[in-house]
């Protein structure tokens, strides 16, 4: 039986009823108490059904639950419920099998953050949880996340994270890939985003009077300065990247329709891992599939298409087709 948030609320509500020797709780009373508890915690008005309460009781009495010592007393045609041990409560019991399973799953996810800046405390916390709940040896990593802990610039992660959280302006020494010398940038940080195993900082750049992104591995130094922080009141970063592949977002370009021809052998891969969320099929043939995207053309889109090599052909627009063709010619010239 899945132990979700609503179930936990019901279990603790029932536990309070069963451990109260001063009142008789019949099934209708238990339903009412659970409904009140759910409404208090979640605001949900959906009524708990009689069948659900019986299933909850069955789970609490099982070994997967807490093996609660529950007695049933008849009063006429009705039955009320009470713990045989007045001092018993599930709050006083060890973690049950279901909770232990959830803890293991949670710990396996939390191990993703081990070794990352800002989460140095994670190692100690994981050890303490494993020890407290007797889970030691049960959290072997079985999921691998893409993370490069040796990436340059990660040493700045904590300070940037805190500067976003506490709204501090940063003076950043930055050297872009095409810059000969580093420059000083006054930056109001808003958002951190990971793409292709690299981290990027988005915020207001005073030099450009606009939103910019800085690659963390190109930051040489930074420090917080005493200056009024400019709030982000214009951009919702949950939607900011909707029209692009990657992290390069042009404020002036509009999304355009792009048609790509995919060879049949490559199509299952692109079908299961779309290039962009707007991807849709235009036509399917014996040898290829033609798809359409609606995105802004940027560096990451060109790189993604080019990475598929001869498996993908740009049909339109012409500017993108020519751009990919020129890259292919340049590559070929390297081997002539």
Dist CA 231 CA 203 (whole Å): 10
Measure the CA angle with vertex 286, ends 281 and 292; round to 5°. Answer: 20
- Where in the chain are all domains bearing CATH 3.30.70? 256-333
What is the rounded average pLDDT of the residues 124-133? 58
What is the rounded average pLDDT of the residues 62-80? 89
What is the rounded average pLDDT of the residues 55-68? 89
> Using alpha carbons only, how large is the chain's radius of gyration in Å?
29
pLDDT digits (tens, 9 = 90+) for 279-315: 999 999 999 999 999 999 999 999 999 999 999 999 9
> What number of other Cβ atoms are within 10 A of residue 287's Cβ?
8
Token digits for 280?
Answer: 């849709």
- Where in the chain are all domains bearing CATH 2.30.30? 154-225
Dist CA 184 CA 172 (whole Å): 6
Whole-number percent of the chain with pLDDT over 90: 59
> Any residues with CB less than 8 A from the CB of 79 and at least 6 apart, and which?
26, 27, 72, 73
What is the rounded average pLDDT of the residues 4-19? 86
How far does CA 199 lie from the centroid of its chain?
15
Token digits for 222?
Answer: 């930074």
In this structure, whether the domain defined by 5-92 belongs to CATH 1.10.10.10 is answered with yes
Can you list the alpha helix ranges (DSSP code H) found in the chain?
A: 5-18, 27-42, 50-61, 97-110, 122-132, 157-166, 267-272, 299-307, 318-333
Task: Please name the residue that has the structure tokens 């005073």.
Answer: 206
- The string of DSSP letters for 162-191 reads HHHHHT-EEEEEE--TT-SS-EEEEEEEEE
Which one is predicted more confidently, 90 or 317?
Answer: 317
- Mean confidence (pLDDT) of the chain: 85
- Reduced to 3 states (helix: H, G, I; strand: E, B; else coil), residue 203 is strand
In this structure, whether the domain defined by 256-333 belongs to CATH 3.30.70 is answered with yes
> What number of other Cβ atoms are within 10 A of residue 187's Cβ?
25
Token digits for 274?
Answer: 């779309």
What dihedral angle (degrees, nearest 10) is formed by the CA atoms of 316, 321, 322, 324?
A: 160
Burial class, 318, CB count within 10 angstroms (exposed 0-12 / middle 13-18 / buried 19+): exposed
pLDDT digits (tens, 9 = 90+) for 188-204: 999 999 898 889 999 99
> Any residues with CB less than 8 A from the CB of 321 and at least 6 apart, and which?
314, 315
pLDDT band at 1 (very low <50, low <70, confident <90, very high): very low
Q: Note the pLDDT of residue 3.
A: 45
Measure the CA angle with vertex 172, ends 169 and 175; round to 5°. Answer: 150
Q: Which of 134-138, 149-153, 281-285, 292-296 has the lowest mean pLDDT?
A: 134-138
- Where in the chain are all domains bearing CATH 1.10.10.10? 5-92
CATH of 154-225, one of 3.40.1350, 2.30.30, 3.30.920, 1.10.1740: 2.30.30
Task: Please name the residue that has the structure tokens 């609320």.
Answer: 9
Token digits for 16?
Answer: 């309070």
First to last CA, the chain: 65
Token digits for 130?
Answer: 């494993």
Residue 53 near residue 26, CB atoms below 8 Å:
no
Q: Note the pLDDT of residue 295.
A: 97
Counted residue by residue, the chain has a size of 336
Dist CA 323 CA 330 (whole Å): 11
Whole-number percent of the chain with pLDDT over 70: 80
Dist CA 174 CA 222 (whole Å): 9
- The string of DSSP letters for 279-299 reads -EEEEE-SSEEEEEEEE---H
> Of the spans 46-55, 56-65, 318-327, which averages the highest pLDDT?
318-327
> Any residues with CB less than 8 A from the CB of 290 and at least 6 apart, and which?
259, 260, 261, 262, 281, 282, 283, 284, 315
Residue 18 near residue 81, CB atoms below 8 Å:
yes
pLDDT digits (tens, 9 = 90+) for 220-268: 999 999 999 999 988 999 899 999 999 999 988 999 999 999 999 999 9
Dist CA 160 CA 168 (whole Å): 9
């Amino acid at each position: 039986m899945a132990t979700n948030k609503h179930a936990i609320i019901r279990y603790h509500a029932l536990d309070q009823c069963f451990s109260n020797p001063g009142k008789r709780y019949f099934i209708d009373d238990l339903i009412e108490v659970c409904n009140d508890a759910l409404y208090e915690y979640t605001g949900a008005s959906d009524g708990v059904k009689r069948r659900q309460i019986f299933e909850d009781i069955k789970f609490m009495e099982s070994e997967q639950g807490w093996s609660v010592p529950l007695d049933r007393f008849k009063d006429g045609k009705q039955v009320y419920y009470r713990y045989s041990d007045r001092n018993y409560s599930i709050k006083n019991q060890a973690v049950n099998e279901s909770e232990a399973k959830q803890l293991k799953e949670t710990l396996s996810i939390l191990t993703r953050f081990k070794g990352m800046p800002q989460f140095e405390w994670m190692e100690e916390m994981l050890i303490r949880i494993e020890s407290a709940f007797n889970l030691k040896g049960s959290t072997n990593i079985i999921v691998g996340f893409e993370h490069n802990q040796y990436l340059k610039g990660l040493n700045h992660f904590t300070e940037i994270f805190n500067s976003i959280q506490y709204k501090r302006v940063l003076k950043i020494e930055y050297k872009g890939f095409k810059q000969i010398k580093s420059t000083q940038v006054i930056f109001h940080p808003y958002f951190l985003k990971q793409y292709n195993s690299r981290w990027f900082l988005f915020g207001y750049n005073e030099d450009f009077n606009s939103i910019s992104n800085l690659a963390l591995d190109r930051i040489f130094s930074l420090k917080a300065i005493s200056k009024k922080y400019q709030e982000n009141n214009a951009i919702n970063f949950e939607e900011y990247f909707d029209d692009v592949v990657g992290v390069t977002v042009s404020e002036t370009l509009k999304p355009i329709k792009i048609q790509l021809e995919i060879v049949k052998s490559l199509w299952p891969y692109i079908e299961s891992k779309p290039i962009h969320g707007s991807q849709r099929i235009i036509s399917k043939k014996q040898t290829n599939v033609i798809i359409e995207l609606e995105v802004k053309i940027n560096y990451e889109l060109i790189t993604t298409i080019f990475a598929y090599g001869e498996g993908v052909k740009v049909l339109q627009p012409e500017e993108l087709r020519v751009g990919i063709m020129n890259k292919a010619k340049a590559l070929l010239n390297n081997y002539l």
